[in-house]
């Protein structure tokens, strides 16, 4: 991973449950973004949170950012089988102006 | 809506051959990024361009080079291909360099045999 670790690496839940994924990073950031990737496909931007923001919502997604702990969490509420994918966090700032990805969490939502 | 277009979608090359991957960003996006993603790996940043100039460089091997042209499309040139170069190569574009969500292309799957 170029930036940090995601926790857990894999998560399996039942449809309707909530899924929480965490991301830690190493350097100071300007922005943190969450992306989703279906197997072998391109990455889809989900949500961007700026370093001066603490929480952001988008539909069933809730993202928090704790810059003192250099960590972020992505909560997906009322999960659906279609949410099955890998979820990556990515940061920019610090030593780089370009986005660097964490290792990703593989989420499986069972119908 | 227009998306980031990458070509080709699939490419099979032999060791020591050369490959060229192309990326056409979203109109009016002036920044292009290249990422490499090996099987089961997270995307690794290779290189980026802003206004046709190299902006930042990541873990790009010396055997690879890239440029952004006057129409903002970008090409990633890969020479002396190795088996380990087999991966998905993604291009992304954004306006204004950073601070905005990136839009990714569908990727080029390169297989080196």
Range of the domain at A3: 1-79
Which of A60-64, A84-88, B50-54 has the lowest average pLDDT? B50-54
B-chain CB neighbours of A44 within 8 Å are 104
- Measure B31 CA to nearest chain A CA, in Å: 10
A-chain CB neighbours of B59 within 8 Å are 2
A42 and B90: CB-CB below 8 Å?
A: yes
**Structural domain count of chain A:** 1
| Mean pLDDT of the region B50-69 | 90
B-chain CB neighbours of A33 within 8 Å are 101-102
* C-alpha to C-alpha distance for A35 and B107, rounded to whole angstroms: 15
Q: What is the pLDDT of residue B50?
A: 86
Q: What is the pLDDT of residue A96?
A: 59
How would residue A67 be classed by pLDDT, with cut points 50, 70 and 90? very high
Q: What is the pLDDT of residue B101?
A: 74
A48 and B101: CB-CB below 8 Å?
A: yes
B99 contacts chain A (CB < 8 A): yes
DSSP B25: P
The domain that contains B72 carries what CATH number?
2.60.40.10
A102 and B90: CB-CB below 8 Å?
A: no
Check pLDDT > 90 for residue A12: yes
A45 and B43: CB-CB below 8 Å?
A: no
DSSP A41: S
Q: Is residue A30 part of a domain?
A: yes
- Measure B104 CA to nearest chain A CA, in Å: 6
**Structural domain count of chain B:** 1
| Mean pLDDT of the region A18-44 | 88
Range of the domain at B25: 5-112
Q: Is residue A102 part of a domain?
A: no
The domain that contains A20 carries what CATH number?
2.60.40.10
How would residue A1 be classed by pLDDT, with cut points 50, 70 and 90? very low
The per-residue pLDDT for range B79-90, each reduced to its tens digit, is 999 999 999 999
Q: Token pair of B71, please? A: 């129409």
φ, ψ at B41 (rounded to 5°): -105, 165
| Average pLDDT in chain B | 90
| Mean pLDDT of the region A6-11 | 83
- Measure B25 CA to nearest chain A CA, in Å: 14
* C-alpha to C-alpha distance for A32 and B9, rounded to whole angstroms: 29
B59 and A2: CB-CB below 8 Å?
A: yes
């Amino acid at each position: 991973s170029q930036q940090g670790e995601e926790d857990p690496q894999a998560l399996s839940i039942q449809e309707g449950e909530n899924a929480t994924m965490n991301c830690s990073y190493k350097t100071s950031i300007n922005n943190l973004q969450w992306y989703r990737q279906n197997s072998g496909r391109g990455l889809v931007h989900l949500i961007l949170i700026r370093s001066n923001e603490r929480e952001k919502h988008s539909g069933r997604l809730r993202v928090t950012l704790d810059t003192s702990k250099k960590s972020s969490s992505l909560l997906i509420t009322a999960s659906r089988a279609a949410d099955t994918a890998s979820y990556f966090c990515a940061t920019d700032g610090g030593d780089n102006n370009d986005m660097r990805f964490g290792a990703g969490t593989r989420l499986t939502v069972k119908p | 809506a227009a998306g980031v277009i990458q070509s080709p979608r699939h490419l099979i090359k032999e060791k020591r051959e050369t490959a060229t991957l192309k990326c056409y960003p979203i109109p009016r996006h002036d920044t292009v990024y290249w990422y490499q993603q090996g099987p089961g790996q997270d995307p690794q940043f290779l290189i980026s361009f802003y206004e046709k100039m190299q902006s930042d460089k990541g873990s790009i091997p010396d055997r690879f080079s890239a440029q952004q042209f006057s129409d903002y499309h970008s090409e990633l040139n890969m020479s002396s291909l190795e088996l380990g170069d087999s991966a998905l190569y993604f291009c992304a574009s954004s306006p204004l360099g950073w601070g905005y969500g990136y839009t990714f292309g569908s990727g080029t799957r390169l297989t080196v045999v």
